Chain A
């Protein structure tokens, strides 16, 4: 019980965050020791479930507490609670001045937050634009691929690989003849019709 008292007083009264965490561990471990000793002395069944849970949860809490302490230290550079307060709010202010500082601090925070949101928004827009460009690029590649295929088929036809009967006369003409040749053919056809 004395150990538990020491642990709890360290948790509540010490100014150093690491010592507070140590106090928590000491308090919980002391309670587990007390229970084990008391159950043995009184002939009670040891509540293993309770003790194991207490130990496991105190470990989890210690891990979280240390992680948060580390984050605080990285952010403010101090571990002492009093110094932390003074770093955040400055030394003793008059109430009105303190309120003004709070408002200024809030305005600064809000501006920063708005900037962060703006940057996030811009980043999202940029990502969207990138996605659109990628899509456009893919479409262009597909088109290019289709053109390549067409070109290949033309080349193969020119080389005489095509098989007779697969293309109609007009289709073959549309692929092979140039514009002028097609115009000439059209003219000669119309003349022959007129003659007829």
Chain B
């Protein structure tokens, strides 16, 4: 009996590896054109992509309770010789990514078929799975080599997803994304090389031991500071933190709805999770404070919160506005990490989950409204679109309320926890001022957007566009998740706190 339990535990320990390899394998299978009939290939690719994501969702659901109620209080498992590690926080992120990816795929299926037609559709689905595999590797990695591979896989997949729609605009956006991200990747690689040359190790625990020894003997202080700053800046470029965020609005404006949702909801979050892992698994909070990395992140976060909102105010295109809003929301996360207290980092993790859920909902809702407005993205054309697609309108209103921090919506929970954390932080004045100002700015661009879509367009051209049942279901689930995170955030926060202790 005990042997059976041991084998079951061994099996559970391989779930992180399976979460990376399964989508990688399936991406190769899905991309191959199996039939001469392109239509059958498209349907098969859609089906297998969704099945793969559902399998990963189920695996995360199985693993989470096992880690939360683990034997002898052990909340994390390592597999593949310590290359990967899974704790409650990692599995919670993997679960969120799986749910959001599934909803994005199902909700944007129709627009994906319209934007990316055969024979490119099946490879497009393959690239989505490749991206998912890279994100899972980012979540579960315990090693700089695996992290680097994941970063490169996500970069390649993100470029392909951005360029998938075709045309000059998409190519331009993809080139901008590639140049910015490649610069970030080079900085990260340089940092990895420096860290390896100082410590002779690539795995996080070994680097932590070596760095602690070096800092205790006051050796290579400047080199360590440069290496850690380079990796943080490299990952900040990829997380679309201001002033490195110009690639995100460009990509949003010219790519498919599904790609937009994945870029701002999942890709940016994957890199932020990697920053969290590098900082808190390689360094102690005291060392972070000593090296003043937290102050840099706090400053960049504050800048991003304000600048992102100011840029969003200037936009006349709804997708660009949502993209700049993402930049502002990423700033909130960095603010939480920069405050460098347990409660603030937990608030930042909650905001990662909230933003990873709400932003794809906003993008999917905006896509639905654009579809019923003659494929025009300007606010002028979106007037009265709420009445043409009520589910999309509801999604946009709920998402906007969440981003503004209206009580009972998801964003309120994370902003409240960040505000409470700011009260105990040394940077109380800056943090509270930025939180208030950014919330007001959020309201200044989201409220007019809501007014525009809710104002009936009398005398305007009537554009008929049927709405599929799946879209309505997806929006309903998104709305339910938004309210769940807003009203029942305490269990999620407690999982995050356990996860942070096990990190």
Q: Do A and B bind each other?
A: yes
Q: Which of A12, A39, A65, A114 meets B375, CB within 8 Å?
A: A114
Taking the complex as formed, is A138 at the interface, i.e. its CB lies under 8 A from any CB of chain B? no
A50 and B145: CB pair below 8 A? yes
Does A61 lie within 8 Å of B155, measured CB to CB? yes
Whether A68 and B197, one on each chain, are in contact in the complex, defined by CB atoms closer than 8 angstroms, is no
Interface range for B: 35 or more
Segment from B87-95, B187-195, B335-343, B491-499 that makes contact with A: B187-195
List CB contacts (< 8 Å) of A7-35 with chain B.
Answer: 7-8, 11-12, 17, 20, 24, 27-28, 31, 34-35
Instruction: List the A side residues contacting B144 at CB < 8 Å.
Output: 50
Partner of B178, one of A68, A102, A103: A68
Are the CB atoms of A54 and B148 closer together than 8 Å? yes
B491 CB to closest chain A CB, in angstroms?
Answer: 39
B183 CB contact (under 8 Å) in A12, A17, A68, A102: A12
User: Are B202 and A103 closer than 8 Å at their CB atoms?
Assistant: no
The winner among A8, A20, A45, A68 for most chain B CB atoms within 10 A is A68
Residues of A within 8 A of B276 (CB): none
With both beta carbons as reference points, the residue of chain B lying nearest to A107 in the complex is identified as B376
Q: Which residues of B contact A102 (CB under 8 A)?
A: 316-317, 378
Of the candidates A27, A76, A117, the one whose C-beta lies within 8 Å of that of B186 is A27
- Choose one: A39, A45, A71; the contact of B171 (CB below 8 Å): A71
- Interface of chain A, helix or strand or loop or mixed? helix
Q: Which of B135-172 contact A (CB under 8 A)?
A: 144-145, 148-149, 152, 155-156, 159-160, 163, 167-168, 171-172
In this complex, the member of B179, B193, B374 whose beta carbon has the largest number of chain A beta carbons within 10 angstroms is B193
Contacts known (A31-B193, A54-B189); A88 close to B172, Cβ less than 8 A: yes
> Chain A contacts of B152 at CB under 8 A?
53, 57, 60-61
The reply to whether A106 and B145 contact each other, CB–CB distance below 8 Å, is no
Q: What is the CB-to-nearest-CB distance from B42 to chain A, in angstroms, rounded to a whole number? A: 13
With a cutoff of 8 Å between Cβ atoms, the chain B residues found around residue A117 in the complex are 114, 375
Please give, as numbers and ranges, the residues of chain A lying within 8 Å of B192 by CB-CB distance.
50
Docked-complex contact B197 and A44, CB < 8 angstroms: yes
Given A68-B159, A103-B316, A114-B374, decide whether A61 and B182 contact each other with a Cβ distance below 8 A.
yes
A50-B202, A53-B149, A102-B378 given; 20 more Cβ-contact pairs under 8 Å: A7-B186, A8-B183, A8-B187, A11-B182, A11-B183, A28-B189, A31-B189, A35-B193, A35-B196, A35-B197, A45-B200, A50-B196, A64-B156, A64-B160, A68-B174, A72-B168, A72-B171, A84-B172, A106-B376, A120-B117
Ranked nearest first, the 10 interchain pairs of A and B with the lowest CB-CB distance are A75-B168, A57-B152, A71-B171, A110-B376, A113-B375, A27-B186, A110-B375, A72-B171, A68-B175, A38-B197
Q: List 16 A-B contacts (CB under 8 A).
A: A11-B179, A11-B182, A12-B183, A50-B144, A50-B148, A57-B156, A61-B152, A61-B155, A68-B159, A68-B171, A71-B168, A72-B171, A88-B168, A99-B316, A106-B317, A117-B375
